[in-house]
Amino acid sequence: MSTRLNTYLKVRHLTLLLALVEHRTMHRAAAALNMTQSTASKILREIEDLLGVALFVREPRGMRPTDSGLLATGLAEAVLQRITRFSDELENLKSGNMGSLVIGAIMGAAPDLVAAAVAEVKQAYPLLTVRMLGETSDLILEMLQTGQVDIAVGRFISPQQQQMFTFEPLAQEPLVLVARAGHPLEGVAGPVRALHEFAQWPWVLQPATNPTRRVLDAAFVAARVNPPRNQVESVSVFAILHLLQTSDALALLPESVARDHFRGGILTRIPVRDLPAIPDFGILTRVGEPLSFHAALFRDILQKHGKQRQVA
């Protein structure tokens, strides 16, 4: 099967799959690709014969992708995005530019390791355009899968992802309980409390799929305590930090994210007993796909900084 795919699967096959998902009818998909409907129907038959499965079913409201069709269109989107990026980088090189590097990174890694590695890459290649996308691990892995980023720094969310991405551990991500400076809990005397004992306070939470949020939820479940009812959920680290500064809310954050705010006296660390740990974060790349020159350089520099951090 893999040999036949490599030999016969063409870009026009992939573009038709995406057009059918977007437009839902053969007529509109063919028009969008400037081909006749009969040609589009022939191309779809070619793909389905090649794969040995039906990719779409016709319904009164249009064409709906089957489970196999969703799998195939996911591949098509990823491949076409990578072809587009290759074309853009090639044009940049032809015109004397250095091309681009797109990095996805969790917020705990971005403030120090990733930023230091990017600075070193830019020192060596000042004309290289670097884009940093800071998100949660689940969103980063989705972007890595679809080719929106060249390389990622994060962690696995599900066991299935271990079949899709390679992972090289970089560092631990210590967690801290954070509040605004002058919070009523700051400097409170008495025994250090466990995480679940703060359930009555307002919280700023990350999405449920985030590893830090999972640690927090697990702590409440283990203690048989209801999770906080007064809560705001946000994927944005900037929004979380601002909400902490302007309210009595608490948040569980990577220490590296809050470190500068501690030093500046803006936020404070609330002592917690037996604070759970989360798995190490690391470098994530797509299985079986070689890195570009600049992505490989960034990986090597990131590995160096990770080792220096472990020694320190």
pLDDT of residue 155: 87
pLDDT of residue 91: 76
In sequence order, the β-bridge partners of residue 307 are: none
pLDDT of residue 112: 78
CA angle 150, 156, 158 (to 5 degrees): 125
pLDDT of residue 188: 85
In CATH terms, 98-171+280-311 corresponds, of 3.40.50.300, 3.40.190.10, 2.20.25.160, 3.30.70.260, to 3.40.190.10
- On the question of pLDDT at 310 being above 90, the answer is no
pLDDT, mean of residues 33-58: 92
pLDDT, mean of residues 184-210: 90
Answer whether 98-171+280-311 and 175-270 agree in fold: yes
Candidates 216, 175, 222; CA nearest to 198 is 216
pLDDT of residue 97: 65
What percent of the chain lies above the pLDDT cut of 70? 93
Residue 129 or residue 276, greater confidence? 129
pLDDT of residue 9: 77
Six-digit token string for 275: 């604070």
pLDDT of residue 96: 63
Q: How confident is the model at residue 15 (pLDDT cuts 50, 70, 90)?
A: very high
pLDDT of residue 54: 94
Domain ranges for the chain, please list them.
2-76, 98-171+280-311, 175-270
Whether this model's pTM surpasses 0.85: no
Residue 221: phi and psi, rounded to 5, are -65, -45
pLDDT, mean of residues 2-18: 77
88-136 tens-digit pLDDT: 777 766 766 677 899 999 877 666 789 999 999 999 988 888 999 877 7
47-80 tens-digit pLDDT: 999 889 999 999 888 899 999 999 999 888 888 8
For strands 100-105 and 151-154, give the pairing.
parallel
What is the fold, at CATH topology level, of the domain defined by 2-76?
Arc Repressor Mutant, subunit A (1.10.10)
What percent of the chain lies above the pLDDT cut of 90? 50
pLDDT of residue 99: 76
Average pLDDT along the chain:
88
pLDDT of residue 285: 95
pLDDT of residue 67: 93
Decide: residue 139, CB within 10 A, 0-12 exposed, 13-18 middle, 19+ buried.
buried
247-264 tens-digit pLDDT: 999 999 988 889 999 999
What would be the CATH architecture of the domain defined by 175-270? 3-Layer(aba) Sandwich (3.40)
For strands 203-205 and 231-233, give the pairing.
parallel
